Amino acid sequence: MKRVTIDDVARHAGVSIGTVSAVLNQKQTVNQKTRDLVLNSIQELNYRPSGIARNVRTDATDFKSIGLLIREMDNPFYTEIASGVMEYCIEKNYIVYLASSESDHTYSEKITQSFSNQNIKGAIIAPVLEGTAEIEHLFALKKINFPFVLLENVPGIQANVVSIDNIQAMKDTVKYLIDTGHTRIIHFAGPKHAYHAYERIDGFRFAYSESPFIFSNNMIIPAGAYLEEGYQTCIDYFKNRNRKDYPTAIVCYNDLVAHGAITALTELNIKVPEEISVVGNDDILFSKYAPLKLTTIHAPMHELGRKAAEILIKNIESPTTLPMEKIVMHGELVVRETTCVREPIKKQHDPSSRTVLSNQ
């Protein structure tokens, strides 16, 4: 089918090309009635704006490209996702422009606006949550029919999403610890701007609701997403705590926090796993080769990146609007050297949960 152009939108809406361009660039020179008319035409025709065409009439080669917006440039979790995105895009002859918001919502907004104003066909986005601001920002992308896929849910926004079932993975992990004799478990929780953090807290809480133990909010200790945050949180938590009050296990937001916590515990002369077991999340490459191999929840990050790229490109190339997809991938607990059995298992672990015993 013939590609819909800005000329087609202008004719359909009964306005000039300049008016359509002004609407796409969110200029305030167009009255609301005309703006709504243009936006309706964009949706009806499934017009996908090109950044170059939006600002200048050009016959330049229309390169196929997408944007990938991650949240932390130095987080191996996103490195693996990026590798999956790149692999699929190379197969489909798409160029990938990579940017990182560094968990700054304002900067994230500027980057996505830049993507939509350039000759980039769509974007894969790891959102930075900040109240309703992120919803409004993503709604702006939807209004101009700019294709995007989210790497985690954003409450209130209907969009394509590829994510990990963080709730079930955390629930399985805590249940495994309880079944292996751990009676005092705490969670070093992730940053407030990540929906993953809230999902993992929910999974932790749900596991306790199905156990003989009682959940309390003081089991959730805000930590963050970085190695140094795990280290400092652990130091602060244990430095004035009586040994008899120590937890038997710490489940961390991600592997970076877990490795930071293990370093702190070592400095505090607390043995891992004999005194305290530590569990990470994501299964980054280093966790398998660390001096003390980390027990962690393996996340299929590479596959997640590939799937996000597949959905995005499928939407970019479709002449019609496609149904939204919400793909949920499953994590599995990989047991290595940083956890131990506290006492004989009293009941068999649920075989339906995803746990892998590994010496890797």
Per-residue confidence band for 55, with pLDDT thresholds at 50, 70 and 90: very low
pLDDT value for 345: 52
Q: Is the pLDDT of residue 123 over 80?
A: yes
Of 242-256, 282-296, 308-322, 334-348, the poorest mean pLDDT is in 334-348
- pTM here? 0.81
Of 2-6, 216-220, 260-264, the poorest mean pLDDT is in 2-6
What is the pLDDT averaged over residues 94-101? 96
Residues 165-205 have pLDDT tens digits of: 999 999 999 999 999 999 999 999 999 999 999 999 999 99
pLDDT value for 354: 56
Tokens matching residue 222? 């805000």
pLDDT value for 330: 96
Q: Is the pLDDT of residue 347 over 60?
A: no
Calculate what percentage of the chain has a pLDDT beyond 90. Answer: 66
Q: Is the four-CA dihedral 63, 69, 72, 77 of positive or negative sign? A: negative
Q: Is the pLDDT of residue 110 over 50?
A: yes
What is the pLDDT averaged over residues 211-234? 96
Between 4 and 187, name the one with better pLDDT.
Answer: 187
The answer for residues whose C-beta is within 8 angstroms of residue 184's C-beta and 6 or more apart is: 246, 247, 248, 249
What is the pLDDT averaged over residues 53-70? 66
Per-residue confidence band for 349, with pLDDT thresholds at 50, 70 and 90: very low
Q: How wide is the angle at C-alpha 319 spanned by C-alphas 68 and 44, nearest 5°? A: 100
pLDDT value for 346: 53
Per-residue confidence band for 59, with pLDDT thresholds at 50, 70 and 90: very low
pLDDT value for 156: 87
Between 233 and 32, name the one with better pLDDT.
Answer: 233
Q: Is the four-CA dihedral 172, 177, 180, 183 of positive or negative sign? A: negative
Identify which of 277, 320, 317 has the alpha carbon closest to the alpha carbon of residue 186. 277
Per-residue confidence band for 130, with pLDDT thresholds at 50, 70 and 90: confident
Q: Is the pLDDT of residue 318 over 60?
A: yes
Return contacts of 201-208, CB within 8 angstroms, 24+ apart: 202/167, 202/170, 203/166, 203/167, 203/168, 203/169, 203/170, 203/171, 203/173, 203/174, 204/170, 204/171, 204/174, 204/251, 206/167, 206/171, 207/170, 207/171, 207/172, 207/173, 207/174, 207/175, 207/178, 208/174
pLDDT value for 68: 98
Mean predicted lDDT score pLDDT of the chain: 88
Domains and CATH numbers, the chain: 6-55 (1.10.260.40), 65-164+301-329 (3.40.50.2300), 166-300+332-357 (3.40.50.2300)
pLDDT value for 314: 97
pLDDT value for 283: 97
Are the C-beta atoms of 114 and 15 separated by less than 8 Å?
Answer: no
Between 285 and 348, name the one with better pLDDT.
Answer: 285
